[in-house]
Amino acid sequence: MKLVKSAKFAYTGNEEVTRLLETFRSMVNDAIRVGLESKTKSRFSLVKLCYHDLRQRYGLHQTYAGAACEVAFSIIKKHQKWQRRPYAGRLMLKIDDCRAYKLSYLLLRIPIAPGHYTFLQLRGGEHQLSMLRDPSLKLSALLITPDSVDIMVSKEVLEPMKTEGKDAYDLNIANVTGVSTSSKEPMVYDVSDIVRFNKKYAQVLSHFRRNDRRIGKRLAAKYGRKRRNRTKSLLHVVSKRIVQSAAKDKHTIVLEKLTHIRKRHERGRQRERRATRHAINTWPFWILQKAIKYKAAWEQIPVEFIDPKNTSRTCSACGSVNKRLRFEREWRCPSCGAMLSRDVNAARNLLNRSLGVQAMRFVAGGLVGEAMVRGAPRGAPPIVDASQPGSPSAGAVSSAESVVQLGRRK
C-alpha cells in the first residue's frame, strides 16, 4: 500500500510564479469548459481532449497541461456532488510528475515554459526538513498556492505488524480515554477545548450586529477557518500521541465503530440536553479516527473497530448491563459494586470485547483473575487470568488518573 504525506513550506514568491498560477487557473477553467461540453466521464478522456490544445494555446511546460486536466476533472466531480457550476476560483498549481521539478536542499526549481525555469526559496521547520531527509520517503506531487508549497512524499507501507497487546480508546466530547493491556493507568487526553472553541466562535459570531450579509458571511468564514484549524491541530496532537504510544508498546489500537453516532443522537431519540446533542453532533469523531487510522497505517500499527453498543452501560468488571444509567460521570455497578470513571469503564468494555471476553474483574484488592466468557453463566471458570502480565489487569482505578495536558508540555 502506498501512503502519502505532505510537507508544507512557506516561500517568497516572485512575479513569474504569480503569473504562472494565474495562467494555470485559466487552463483549468478551459479544461472544465471542455469537460462540461463533452460531458466527459473519465479523467483520461478529458486529458485526451484538452492536452494538445492547452499546450499550444498557453505555451507552458508540458507537465501543466496534464495537471490542469486532472485538477479540472476533480473540480467537475466535486461540483456535481454539490450541484454547483464548476469553476476554479482559487489560485493553485499542481505538478504531478516529480521529474518536472528539482529540489536541492530548500531551493525549488519549477519549469515554466520548455527550457525556462524559475526558482523558489522555501522555508520550513525541522519537521518538514526531516521528511525531506528521510531516505524511505519518495518525493511525489507538488502543490503551489500563493503562500505555500506543499510537497507530497510517499512511502510504500507493508502489512500491519504482529502486535503484542491492545490499547482501546473511548472517544468522548471532553476527553479521549484509553486503557491498555500492559498498563494499569488509564491514558486520558483532555480535548474539552474543542467544545470550548465551538462555543467561543459561535459566541463571537452571535455578537455580530451589523446588518450586512456580505461582511457577516466573510466573518463567519474567517472564524470557521480559525475554529477548524485549532481543532485540527489539537486532534493532530492527540492522534499522534495515541499512535506513538501504540508503536512503542507494539499494540493494536481498538476504536469504536462510529457508524450510527449521528443517528443515535438525533432530536427526540433520547433524553439529552440540547447543548449535549449539539456538542456530540459537531464533535469531529470522524476526523480523529481518520487521523489515527492514517498515522497507524504509516507506522504499520493495526487498528480494530468494535461495535460500541452499550459500552457505557455495561459493567466492565462483571458484565451486567445497567439500563438505568443516564449521564453520571462515575460508574457504579448495581450488581457487583465496582466503581470507576464512566469513560474508563467504556474503554475497558471496548478492550474486553476486542479480546473476546465479556468482563474482567479489576476492583482494587478484589477478585483479580475472574473473567467471564461471552455468554457463559456467571461464576464460570475464568479463561483470562488478569494477574498475568500482558493481560488487562487493572488495579485500583479509583486512584488519580493521569490526565495528559495537551499543548502545554513538550
Interface residue with Zn ion, options 238, 243, 333, 394 (CB under 5 A): 333
Task: Check residue 85 and report its DSSP letter.
Answer: -
Q: How far is the CB of 329 from Zn ion (least distance, A)?
A: 17
Q: How far is the CB of 311 from Zn ion (least distance, A)?
A: 14
Q: What is the 3-state secondary structure (H, E, C) of 34-71?
A: HHHHHCCCCHHHHHHHHHHHHHHHHCCCHHHHHHHHHH
Separation between Cα atoms, residue 26 and residue 161, nearest integer Å: 47
- Is residue 336 at the binding interface for Zn ion, with CB under 5 A as the rule? yes
Q: How far is the CB of 402 from Zn ion (least distance, A)?
A: 24
Measured CA distances, 147 to 63, 105, 124, 328 (Å): 21, 19, 13, 48
Q: How far is the CB of 386 from Zn ion (least distance, A)?
A: 15
- Name all contacts of 110-116 with Cβ < 8 Å and 24+ positions apart: 110/17, 110/20, 110/142, 110/144, 111/61, 111/63, 112/16, 112/20, 112/60, 112/61, 113/59, 113/60, 113/61, 114/61, 114/62, 116/61
* Interface region with Zn ion, contact rule CB under 5 A, candidates 46-54, 106-114, 158-166, 335-343: 335-343
* Interface region with Zn ion, contact rule CB under 5 A, candidates 130-138, 208-216, 334-342, 388-396: 334-342
Asked whether the CA dihedral 32, 37, 43, 45 is positive or negative, the reply is: negative
Q: How far is the CB of 331 from Zn ion (least distance, A)?
A: 9
Q: How far is the CB of 126 from Zn ion (least distance, A)?
A: 49
Q: How far is the CB of 359 from Zn ion (least distance, A)?
A: 7
Looking at residue 348, its amino acid is R
For residues 82, 83, 84 and 87, what is the CA-based torsion angle, rounded to 10 degrees? 70
* Interface region with Zn ion, contact rule CB under 5 A, candidates 30-38, 257-265, 328-336, 373-381: 328-336
- Is residue 187 at the binding interface for Zn ion, with CB under 5 A as the rule? no
Q: How far is the CB of 304 from Zn ion (least distance, A)?
A: 25
Interface residue with Zn ion, options 69, 168, 171, 338 (CB under 5 A): 338
Number of helices (H), then strands (E), belonging to the chain: the values are 10, 17
- Is residue 360 at the binding interface for Zn ion, with CB under 5 A as the rule? no
Residues 121 and 106: beta-carbon distance below 8 Å: yes
Label the pairing between strands 251-256 and 165-171: parallel
* Interface region with Zn ion, contact rule CB under 5 A, candidates 180-188, 200-208, 332-340, 362-370: 332-340
Interaction mask 56-95, Zn ion, x per CB under 5 A: ----------------------------------------
The Cα diameter of the chain in Å comes to 81
* Interface region with Zn ion, contact rule CB under 5 A, candidates 120-128, 155-163, 279-287, 330-338: 330-338
* Among 144, 147, 148, 150, CA closest to 20: 144
Separation between Cα atoms, residue 64 and residue 396, nearest integer Å: 63
Q: Which is nearer to Zn ion, 258 or 336 (CB)?
A: 336
- Is residue 397 at the binding interface for Zn ion, with CB under 5 A as the rule? no
Separation between Cα atoms, residue 15 and residue 391, nearest integer Å: 63
Q: Which is nearer to Zn ion, 11 or 362 (CB)?
A: 362
Separation between Cα atoms, residue 20 and residue 72, nearest integer Å: 16
- Is residue 335 at the binding interface for Zn ion, with CB under 5 A as the rule? yes
Q: How far is the CB of 378 from Zn ion (least distance, A)?
A: 10
Label the pairing between strands 402-404 and 187-190: parallel
Q: How far is the CB of 361 from Zn ion (least distance, A)?
A: 9
Q: Which is nearer to Zn ion, 4 or 336 (CB)?
A: 336
Q: How far is the CB of 362 from Zn ion (least distance, A)?
A: 11
* Among 242, 333, 238, CA closest to 284: 238
* Interface region with Zn ion, contact rule CB under 5 A, candidates 63-71, 177-185, 329-337, 378-386: 329-337
Interaction mask 291-320, Zn ion, x per CB under 5 A: ------------------------x-xx--
* Interface region with Zn ion, contact rule CB under 5 A, candidates 15-23, 66-74, 179-187, 331-339: 331-339
Q: Which is nearer to Zn ion, 111 or 319 (CB)?
A: 319
Q: Which is nearer to Zn ion, 71 or 363 (CB)?
A: 363
Residues that bind Zn ion (CB under 5 A): 315, 317-318, 333, 335-336, 338
